[in-house]
Amino acid sequence: MIVTVTANPSLDRTVQVRELVRGGLNRASSIRVDPGGKGINVARALALHGVDVRAVVAAGGIEGEQLVALLAGIGINVVRVPAVGPVRINMSVVEPDATVTKFNEPGALLEAGDARALSEAVLQGAGGAHRVVIAGSLPPGVDSAYYAELVRAVGSLGVPVVVDTSGPALRKAVQAGPALVKPNLRELEQTVGHPITTIGDVADAADELLDLGAGTVLASLGTDGALLRGHDGDGHAEAPVTAQNTVGAGDALLAGYLSEGCGGLPALVTAVACGAAAASLPGSAMPQPHDLRPDLVRVASQVPWGRRLQRDP
- pLDDT confidence band for 107 (50 / 70 / 90): confident
Based on its alpha-carbon atoms, the radius of gyration of the chain, rounded to whole angstroms, reads 18
User: How far is the C-alpha of 6 from the C-alpha of 23, rounded, in Å?
Assistant: 34
Residue 93's pLDDT is what?
93
Active site annotation includes 251: yes
pLDDT at 42: 97
How far apart are the C-alpha atoms of 278 and 256, rounded to whole Å?
11
pLDDT at site 83? 86
Evaluate if residue 264 carries a pLDDT over 70.
yes
Model confidence at 119: pLDDT above 90: yes
Exactly one of 211, 251, 295, 312 is catalytic; name it: 251
Q: Which residues contact 39 (CB under 8 A, 6 or more apart)?
A: 4, 5, 6, 7, 9, 55, 56, 57, 133, 134, 135, 136
* Alpha carbon distance 105, 94 (integer Å): 18
Which tens digit of pLDDT belongs to each residue from 136-161? 999 988 999 999 999 999 999 999 99
pLDDT of the residue at 67: 95
Distance, CA of 221 to CA of 268 (rounded, Å): 13
The amino acid present at 247, given as its one-letter code, is: V
CB 56 within 8 A of CB 33: no
Q: Which of 23-32, 49-58, 186-195, 261-270 has the lowest mean pLDDT?
A: 261-270
Per-residue pLDDT, 313: 52
Look at residue 312 in the predicted model and tell me its pLDDT: 60
**Phi, then psi, of 127 in degrees rounded to 5:** -60, 120
Q: Is 242 helix (H, G, I), strand (E, B) or coil?
A: coil
Give the distance, in angstroms, between the CA of residue 45 and the centroid of all CA atoms in the same chain: 10
pLDDT of 286 above 80? yes
CA angle 263, 265, 271 (to 5 degrees): 75
Q: Are 269 and 237 in contact (CB under 8 A)?
A: yes
| Strand boundaries in the chain, DSSP class E | 2-6, 10-17, 28-36, 53-58, 77-81, 88-94, 100-103, 131-135, 161-164, 180-181, 216-220, 226-230, 235-238, 298-299
Exposure string of 169-200, with b = 16+ CB inside 10 Å and e = fewer, is bbbbbbbbebbbbbbbbebbbebbeeebeebe
Q: How far apart are CA 134 and CA 151, in angstroms?
A: 8
Q: Give the per-residue pLDDT at 231.
A: 83
The Cα 312–Cα 98 span in angstroms is 12
% of the chain with per-residue pLDDT over 70: 99
pTM higher than 0.85 for the full model? yes
**Pick the residue with more confidence: 109 or 137?**
137
Tens-place pLDDT, residues 186-223: 999 999 999 999 999 999 999 999 999 999 999 999 99
pLDDT at position 241 over 90: no
Instruction: Enumerate domains of the chain plus CATH numbers.
Output: 2-299 (3.40.1190.20)
